[in-house]
Amino acid sequence: MKIVVAGTGYVGLVTAVCMSEAGHTVTCVDVVKEKIDMLNKGKSPIFEPGLEELMTKNKSLLTYTLDAKSAYKDADVIFIGVGTPEKKDGSANLKYVYDVAKEIAESIQKDCVIVVKSTVPIGTNKKIEKYIKENLKNNVKVDIVSNPEFLSQGTAVRDTLHAQRIVIGVQNKHAEKIMREVYDAFGLPYVITDRESAEMIKYASNDFLALKISYINEIANLCEIVCANIQDVAKGMGMDSRIGNKFLQAGIGYGGSCFPKDTKALSWLANFNDYEIKTIKAAIEVNENQKLKLIKKARKYYESFEGLNIAILGLTFKPNTDDLREAPSLTNIPILLDEGANIKAYDPIGEKNFKKIYPNEITYCKSVEETLEDANLCFIFTEWDFVKNFDIKKYEKLMRKPIVIDGRNCYNLEEMKKTSIIYDSIGRRTINKER
């Protein structure tokens, strides 16, 4: 089957490459020349484990182009996988979706199925169908399908090839038949429904996971007050099959391209329809406050950060990605800089993107050891393996004063007890606390 995918970000490129792995011939379309040039050289413009390997493996089935009109004209199925960034009011910006939809309408010369893979508000597929039909230049039949993605950055390839379900929102049996032909090679269970329900499944799923994260962070904050251990609490909760153990890792909040945007978008949509989802509203508020948790902890040890040498381990919102969107580092580092701190940071994957925001204001290091040398404080924002596997005794040796404020609970409390490190984490007692 000849498939075209519009967009080469996390959703579009991962979808395209995984479709080629299933044996389809796939053309990737983007408007950014630099991205297409990289892809044609076999390089991914995003950091995603396993993606470049699949690109190489299936290069005979993959084409990358700026020529959208030629790509769309004779496609069997076209996936729209462009971004839907957040507007200032919290609603989803659908400009890029509509831009692609118009170009598709003006370019297609045969009957085809158009699949909205981007995360869009409930009712968007219906509006896109009307918009495309109004802009068709040729006498062709189109079906619009909702097919939301459920990938997670850092595990996106696995999440696509081994998804727990494939959600397909269709209006007729023909579109369902075509979509089954697209996905049957994956051998995964289907949820076939109407388009509005498919759109809602996406938002309801993401927002429920965000709720779990905010809930466990609230419990973690209370654990600190009553001297309970959040990791033991989460373990006990997670063994209950009704709750499950996923997304119960306490920390400094969720980030990335999905949860912050999707919670705000669903909240906005509810308000637009004169309804309030109070749980989602609370999750958003909790998450914003949680991002500042480490700064609040650090003020127990220093009233001001002026002149302090501060080490930052991890810049991205989670490990195994170079994505900085809604990363806690972007909330905390400006505060530290404003107070006159000297910042050294280490994140070999996130550094390139972070330099675009702070090219000269902080020092980027080549190792954890270099980052820690002569530091008064260390903040851990991302639970990279290089952080979790680091020899904790080196904090004592390298830092001017070994105070480690860990936003991701990377280390064992019993091991920290054996050191002189002041170790302050999330939802657990502080180790070697100053008296």
pLDDT for the residue numbered 85:
93
Structural domains of the chain, count: 3
Please tell me whether residues 160 and 66 are part of one structural domain. yes
Report CA torsion sign: 357, 323, 380, 205.
Answer: positive
Averaged confidence pLDDT in the chain: 96
**Consecutive H or E run containing 3:** strand 2-6
- Alpha carbons 92 and 266: distance in angstroms, whole number: 9
Q: If we measure between CA atoms, which residue out of 400, 340, 394, 344 comes closest to residue 376?
A: 400
Q: Over the stretch 100-114, which tens digit does the pLDDT of each residue have?
A: 999 999 999 999 999
Q: Over the stretch 34-62, which tens digit does the pLDDT of each residue have?
A: 999 999 999 999 999 999 999 999 999 99
pLDDT for the residue numbered 257:
85
Please tell me whether residues 175 and 61 are part of one structural domain. yes
Please tell me whether residues 41 and 160 are part of one structural domain. yes
Please tell me whether residues 278 and 301 are part of one structural domain. no
| Domain span at 107 | 2-193
Please tell me whether residues 94 and 215 are part of one structural domain. no
Q: Over the stretch 324-341, which tens digit does the pLDDT of each residue have?
A: 999 999 999 999 999 999
Please tell me whether residues 70 and 124 are part of one structural domain. yes
Q: Over the stretch 346-381, which tens digit does the pLDDT of each residue have?
A: 999 999 999 999 999 999 999 999 999 999 999 999
Q: Over the stretch 133-188, which tens digit does the pLDDT of each residue have?
A: 999 999 999 999 999 999 999 999 999 999 999 999 999 999 999 999 999 999 99
Amino acid at 291: K
Please tell me whether residues 272 and 340 are part of one structural domain. no
What are the phi and psi torsion angles at 281 (to 5°)?
A: -60, -40
Residues 6+ apart with CB under 8 A from 105: 131, 132, 133, 134, 135, 136, 137
User: Is-catalytic flag, 227?
Assistant: no
In-domain check, residue 172: yes
Burial of 181 from C-beta contacts in 10 A (0-12 / 13-18 / 19+): middle
Please, which pLDDT band fits residue 435 given cuts at 50, 70 and 90? Answer: very low
Please tell me whether residues 266 and 408 are part of one structural domain. no
What are the phi and psi torsion angles at 310 (to 5°)?
A: -120, 130
Residue with structure tokens 């049996």? 173
Running DSSP on this structure, what letter comes out for residue 7? -
Give me 427's structure tokens: 């939802």
Q: What is the CATH number of the domain that holds 208?
A: 1.10.1040.10
Please tell me whether residues 286 and 299 are part of one structural domain. no
Q: Spot the catalytic one: 258, 365, 378, 410.
A: 258
In-domain check, residue 434: no
Question: Which of 193, 219, 252 is the last residue before a domain boundary?
Answer: 193
Long-range own/partner contacts, residues 278-283 (CB < 8 A, 24 or more apart) = 279/211, 280/207, 280/210, 280/211, 282/214, 283/207, 283/210, 283/211, 283/213, 283/214, 283/215
Please tell me whether residues 217 and 338 are part of one structural domain. no
Please tell me whether residues 17 and 134 are part of one structural domain. yes
| pTM (predicted TM-score) | 0.93
pLDDT for the residue numbered 127:
97
Please tell me whether residues 86 and 227 are part of one structural domain. no
- Alpha carbons 345 and 347: distance in angstroms, whole number: 7
Q: Over the stretch 51-98, which tens digit does the pLDDT of each residue have?
A: 999 999 999 999 999 999 999 999 999 999 999 999 999 999 999 999
In-domain check, residue 432: no
Cα distances (angstroms) measured from residue 193 to each of 148, 190, 405, 416: 12, 9, 47, 52
